[in-house]
Amino acid sequence: MLLREWWTALRDDLATGAEALFFASLGVVAEVPGLLRFHKNAHARPAPSMKKKFDFRYARAENGRKVYLIRPKSGIRTKKTILYLHGGGYVVEFFQEHWYFMGRLAEELGCTVVAPDYPVVPSGTYREVFAMIEPIYRAIVGKIDPKDVVVMGDSAGGGMSLALCQKLAQDGLPQPGQAILLSPWMDVSMTNPEIQRVRKKDRILHPKLKRFGFAYAGDTSVMNYLVSPLYGSFQGLGKITLFTGTSDILNPDARKWAERAKEAGFPLDYREKQGMPHVWMLFHKRALASEHVLRQYDRNGAHYAEETVQEILALLREQEEPESAGT
């Protein structure tokens, strides 16, 4: 089942109710050929096997939405805490691939993963999102040394992660020890002319995805850095690593931001992978149901996804400090 077929299935489920009216108003139900992946994986909750394997719980944010916490039940635990902001085009919640990926991080690093179920369009705009995620970050660094905190996100969550770091810098708050951006959505206007060139290679995303970005912006300009961090400042930012693939229509803006970083003298760790599609690292060997997505690009796609996961784990193991041994 290809991504375009997934969208067809999803739009059928949106045939009634407020969400249907919202998507119809954007004109995307009939026009956007693909958002992410399988219909069954949209708005997914963690598999029961994960709950058996991990110390898995949730708290409620001030807006009433859940904030998930994932930790290994046993073994060496570290102080490292990852604030993970999931992707989904600002309109979809967690996918199963997110849970597998976050679980793997917790298992291999002995860390805590904090994953907010932030409001998606049409339930909220960037204002409601930041009203939720910034207090969560403040709470984390209020208890844990910021050097042991990582902000990480994929796709829309990758752009959101960078925007959060930019806002922290603007507000004079401590930066996380590092931020890791996975195929980030840097500019929701999608006006970069290079996008049309890459579009021929991208079987996952489509430029009309920008309509979700405009809805996320609400009544604010899409050039506001909290919506499109491409336009934000480098001043005060900490360590940042950016992963992007050349078969992703979001790659041109990732490149553009890397060029701006170089011009500004900012030491961005930029890692571009030839031929890789959007969020390929989520389709690693432990998310076998997703491997066929990568095979559309390279028969060894799952191998390359695993290589990238290992790079990410290596970055996260830097300055790792044991906290305690579980029982």
Minimum mean pLDDT range among 81-85, 103-107, 132-136 = 103-107
Average the pLDDT over 178-206 and give the result. 95
% of the chain beyond a pLDDT of 90: 68
Kindly state the average pLDDT of the residues 315-325: 69
- Mean pLDDT score across all residues of the chain: 84
Confidence of residue 103 (pLDDT cuts 50, 70, 90): very high
- Residue (of 272, 274, 281) closest to 303 by Cα position: 281
pLDDT of residue 319: 62
Q: Convert the pLDDT of each residue in 225-243 to its tens digit.
A: 999 999 999 999 999 999 9
Q: Which residue has the higher pLDDT, 311 or 77?
A: 311
Instruction: Supply the pLDDT for residue 296.
Output: 52
pLDDT, residue 18, reads: 43
pLDDT at 130: 98
pLDDT for the residue 284: 64
pLDDT tens track for 131-170: 999 999 999 999 999 999 999 999 999 999 999 999 999 9
Q: What pLDDT band is residue 302 in, cutting at 50, 70 and 90?
A: confident
Range 88-101 average pLDDT: 91
Banded model confidence at residue 210, pLDDT cuts 50, 70, 90: very high
- State mean pLDDT over 107-136: 96
Closest CA to 291 of 310, 282, 49, 308: 282
- pLDDT at residue 203, rounded to an integer: 86
Look at residue 53 in the predicted model and tell me its pLDDT: 84
Nearby residues of 314 by Cβ (< 8 Å), 6 or more positions away: none
Closest CA to 70 of 117, 112, 118, 98: 112
Percent of the chain with pLDDT over 70: 78
- Is the predicted pLDDT of residue 23 greater than 60, yes or no? no
Residue-level pLDDT at 200: 92
3-state secondary structure the chain: CCHHHHHHHHHHHCCCHHHHHHHHHHCCCCCCCCCCCCHHHCCCCCCHHHHHHEEEEEEECCCCCEEEEEEECCCEEECCEEEEECCCCCCCCCCHHHHHHHHHHHHHHCCEEEEECCCCCCCCCHHHHHHHHHHHHHHHHHHCCHHHEEEEEECHHHHHHHHHHHHHHHCCCCCCCEEEEECCCCCCCCCCCHHHHHHCCCCCCCHHHHHHHHHHHCCCCCCCCCCCHHHCCCCCCCCEEEEEECCCCCHHHHHHHHHHHHHHCCCCEEEEECCCCCCHHHCCCCCHHHHHHHHCCCCCHHHHHHHHHHHHHHHHCCCCCEEEECC
Given a cut of 80, is residue 250 above it in pLDDT? yes
- Identify whether the C-beta of residue 112 lies closer than 8 Å to the C-beta of residue 80: yes
- CB-based contacts of 266: which residues, under 8 Å, 6+ apart? 234, 237
Query: Of residues 326 and 155, which shows the higher confidence score?
Result: 155
Structure tokens that stand for 202 in this block: 């991208």
Q: What pLDDT score was predicted for residue 303?
A: 79
Higher pLDDT, 281 or 10: 281
